[in-house]
Amino acid sequence: MSDNKVLARVEGREITENDVNRLVRSLGPQRAAQFNSPDGKSQLVEELINQELFYVDAVGRGLDKEEEFLAEVENMKSELLKQYGIKKVLDQVEVNEQEMFNYYKENRNQFRTNERIHAKHILIDDKEQADQIYWDLKKGLFFEEAAKEYSKCPSSAQGGSLGYFGKGQMIPEFEEVAFKLDVNEISRPVKTQYGYHIIKVVDKKQPGISDFDEVKPQIANHLMGVKQQQAYIQEVNRLRGLFKVTK
């Protein structure tokens, strides 16, 4: 759908798809997910209509000419201009590949990892059913298909995949079995407070140092933060040399 599509008009003022998308972004991921449906989008359009009604009414009553409102506008304009000026400074900061690699070489010990495994599981409430699924797996039933059909864990949508994890990230009963399995080995049902888990380990990573490509985003974020802080301080010092400050 085009961002410019007009969804409603209030006294000639257009509400577009882009306005709805902007409102969704302002809600944050968790709240935005509540409106990720046709009915949800309709609710947002109605809210935007309500806001436009307040705007049209306020202009009609001359509220935009009141001194209190104009003073508030100036305050908001001042704050916005400050933040925009800071953003212009920070946006000039860049981190290149060589800087990231140099940091990686000089700080390799920061990227040491403990043993990690990549496991999948099928979570069942009933022990008898879990036992039956285990034997079906031993006879050739594909683990991923069984997870999608039987598992009550949300990971079922990914064939039961839990991704990589280290010790201390899962409940003890689960970990005790999972870390003892060989790659592609399937466990008998393991009882925990959540039910019965059938576990399959699909990969193991021994303790070591993460590859550069694996930690590059982490390094980039760190260096960007450091360089932006330096740029901010440098610009503050420059401005203090230009303008008079009294206390």
Task: Report the CATH number that the domain containing residue 187 is assigned in CATH.
Answer: 3.10.50.40
For residue 1, name the pLDDT band (cuts at 50, 70, 90): very low
Q: Do both 201 and 130 map to the same domain?
A: yes
Encode pLDDT of 47-103 as tens digits. 999 999 999 999 999 999 999 999 999 999 999 999 999 999 999 999 999 999 999
- pLDDT for res 31: 84
Widest CA span in the chain: 82
| pLDDT one-digit tens code per residue, 6-17 | 999 999 999 999
Give the integer Cα–Cα distance in Å for 23 and 217: 29
Q: Does pLDDT of 3 surpass 70?
A: no
pTM above 0.95, yes or no: no
In this structure, are 215 and 242 located in the same domain?
yes
Are 86 and 123 in a shared domain? no
Tally of domains in the chain: 3
What percent of the chain stands above pLDDT 90? 87
CA 131 to CA 123: how far, in whole Å? Answer: 12
What confidence tens digit (pLDDT) does each residue in 104-126 have?
999 999 999 899 999 999 999 99
Residue 51: how many CB atoms within 10 A of its CB?
Answer: 14
Instruction: Judge whether 217 lies within some domain.
Output: yes
Range of the structural domain that residue 37 is part of: 6-65
SS3 category, 126: coil
Across residues 236-246, what is the average pLDDT?
A: 95
Position 242 in a domain: yes
Q: Which of 30-44, 137-151, 175-189, 232-246 has the lowest mean pLDDT?
A: 30-44
Rounded to a whole number of angstroms, the CA Rg of the chain reads 28
Say if 70 falls within a structural domain: no
